[in-house]
A and B are shown apart, each in its own frame.
Chain A
Amino acid sequence: MAFTFKKRSNLPGFGLALGFTVLYLSLIVLIPLAATFLKASSLSWQQFWHIASSARAVASYRLTFGASLVGALINLVFGVLVAWVLVRYRFPGKRLFDSMVDLPFALPTAVAGIALTTIYAPNGWLGRPLTSLGIKAAYTPLGVAIALTFIGLPFVVRSVQPVLEDMDKELEEAAASLGASRWQTFSKVVLPTILPAALAGFAMAFARAIGEYGSVVFISGNMPMRTEITPLLIITKLDQYDYAGATAIAIVMLVFSLALLLPINLLQKWSSRRDEKQSEVTSEETKTAEALA
């Protein structure tokens, strides 16, 4: 079969739409990305490795990835819990709580950053009780983790909610009629069903947290080697006109983000496949009927 670029269709506008799309993407995305790789290629492999694995850079990776992981894990557990409560239970103000779950998506990151810092600073609303317990939140990795939990909160909740809403009540009833306790029903029937969605949400929260800047840079303290996140390291290098260094670190981040994209897409596909209604297999039906006769 000959190679065709586009399948035949009798709708107009393909050329115009695709043309504009590709043009826009080239100008906004592809050309700048090309410039990045061009700049990166001016570095030798050795120079690149030297910058990307410098002690300061590695310390920033540890903080960024570590705190992101903690935040995403907290969101995994509590996100499932919140989704369950919002879907299954009724309580006064539920609608309000449900709509506000999206606040971290809507609120500008700088606002979130200064708000969280003020709350968890030693004399803040929550910082004070924490200090009396001997826990320092602001300007520590703990503060970073808290901020990253905030930023990822909606991902798991919104990922799991539709799956829970779609779940057939009959599955839980079947488990109950077979003698399962409520906990057994939850762990053996409900949890496996929502797992793909929960993991997809986890991965998205994780990916978002790694690249996060605005919400974190105020609460983190920004001390090199101790509380400096990787995005800040990039900015610091830029401020010093160390374009090469900034690019090297940026490439590390880019590679990692793209590596995360694939599992996220797969998890989302897995989750939506589980969701599809099962269709009948009619040719097998008649075979069965004959087998039973």
Chain B
Amino acid sequence: MATSTLVAGKVPSARTAATAATGEPALVRWILTGVAVVFLTLFIFVPLAIVFSQALAKGMGVYWASLQTPDAMAAIRLTLLAAVIAVPLNVVFGVAAAWAIGKFDFFGKSLLITLIDLPFSVSPVVSGLIYVLLFGLQGVLGPWLARHDLQIIFAVPGIVLATIFVTFPFVARELIPLLQAQGQEEEEAAIALGASGWQTFFRVSLPNIKWGLLYGVILCNARAMGEFGAVSVVSGHIRGRTNTMPLHVEILYNEYQFAAAFAVASLLALLALVTLVAKTLVEWKARRQLAESALWNGEAV
């Protein structure tokens, strides 16, 4: 498993800046910078810009109206519901998995780690499919569910489940390297001083990983609210009932209601921007904490 993405990126130091004595000529630098800027503008800024430009193309009136239709509001509610359930559950899972994997050595540990990475390597459509094959009408549990009048596929529970599946690795992946890197000494000291397991966890381990945890939550939430492929497979696309915001965007777009589609999309884009800002802030805070603790331990920063 790669190192925590939170810790991997560091502030570029003066060492990495080009110097006049050994760098490339200014012209080369300008050309390379230009190409990079054009590439990024083309692939990042233009798509972002068009979302907002199309959303507001028919004016603010249409914009607000699109967001307030009953179907749109239902979609927003469902998206929030899925996130509110999936994220806390995945946090508990992430913490539990990181504790077991980060602090102990046991048989089957690497298999466990591979399993946790699984949703990242599987297509979202396949992620949704496996739930259909389990809970769908023709699925393994289909007949049993029908008999008990329980609906998972094409209903809210299925959407929540699919959301949980595609987002559960995020928190775990951030916390595992953190807990591994911290070693056992502080926890052992707490235990020796008489603290219970829970006390040790909440008072010693948790504060040390708080930024990693927050980072994982931010990523988990962004993906939970934005998931499309997996949810699309299990949802049934029933307006007002089983549509999340991304699905609602798709419906509006396919009906050529472009302004409305982009209006809802703009909310999601704003969420993405907030996610990026929060991410950057947490990264900065985490780096500071890392540097301070290194200083404290007498290491060179």
Contacts and interface: CB of A to CB of B under 8 A. Distances in A.
Asked whether any CB of A lies within 8 Å of a CB of B in the complex, the reply is: yes
Interface of A: 3, 5-7, 9-14, 16-18, 20-22, 24-25, 28-33, 35-36, 38-39, 78, 81-82, 84-91, 97, 99-116, 118-119, 125-126, 149-150, 153, 158, 161-162, 164-169, 172-173, 176, 182, 207, 210-214, 218, 231-232, 234-235, 238, 241, 243, 246-247, 250, 253-254, 257-258, 260-261, 268, 272
A149 B250 CA distance: 21
Given A24-B93, A211-B126, A231-B123, A82 B39 contact: yes
B106 A90 contact: no
Contacts of A153: 43-44
Contacts of B33: 85, 89, 91
Contacts of A20: 92-93, 96
B122 A211 contact: yes
B183 to A, nearest CB: 11
Highest count of chain B CB atoms <10 Å: which of A11, A105, A150, A211: A11
Q: Chain B interface residue count: which class?
A: 35 or more
Interface stretch (B59-67, B143-151, B273-281, B288-296): B273-281
Contacts of B46: 119, 125-126
B77 interface: no
A253 to B, nearest CB: 6
A83 to B, nearest CB: 9
Contact of A214 (B117, B132, B219, B246): B246
Nearest to B201: A13
Contacts, number: 311
B78 to A, nearest CB: 14
Contacts of B130: 32-33, 35-36, 250
B256 to A, nearest CB: 12
Nearest to A243: B138
A106 B275 contact: yes
Given A81-B35, A90-B17, A207-B121, A39 B133 contact: yes
A284 B249 CA distance: 66
A243 B187 CA distance: 50
Interface string B89-115: 000110011011001111100001011
A262 B152 CA distance: 34
B22 A254 contact: no
B249 A243 contact: no
Given A7-B104, A111-B269, 13 more contacts: A11-B103, A11-B188, A11-B197, A36-B134, A38-B133, A81-B36, A103-B48, A110-B226, A115-B47, A166-B10, A213-B228, A213-B229, A234-B129
A293 B112 CA distance: 54
Contacts of B17: 88, 90
Contacts of A182: 23-25, 28
Contacts of B227: 108
B14 to A, nearest CB: 9
Highest count of chain B CB atoms <10 Å: which of A30, A32, A254: A32
B233 A110 contact: no
Nearest to B252: A114
B222 to A, nearest CB: 5
B51 A162 contact: no
B140 interface: yes
B9 A162 contact: yes
A235 B105 CA distance: 41
Contacts of A9: 103-105, 184
B215 interface: no
Contacts of A29: 115, 118-119, 165
Contacts of B92: 20
B238 interface: no
19 contacts: A11-B104, A20-B96, A36-B130, A38-B133, A81-B32, A82-B36, A100-B44, A104-B44, A108-B226, A110-B246, A111-B226, A114-B253, A115-B265, A162-B8, A169-B16, A176-B22, A211-B121, A250-B130, A257-B122
A149 B23 CA distance: 30
Given A11-B187, A39-B140, A85-B32, A261 B114 contact: yes
Contacts of B272: 103, 106-108, 111
B93 A107 contact: no
Contacts of B214: none
Contacts of A85: 32-33, 36
A28 B165 contact: yes
Interface string B5-44: 1001110110111110011110011001101110110111
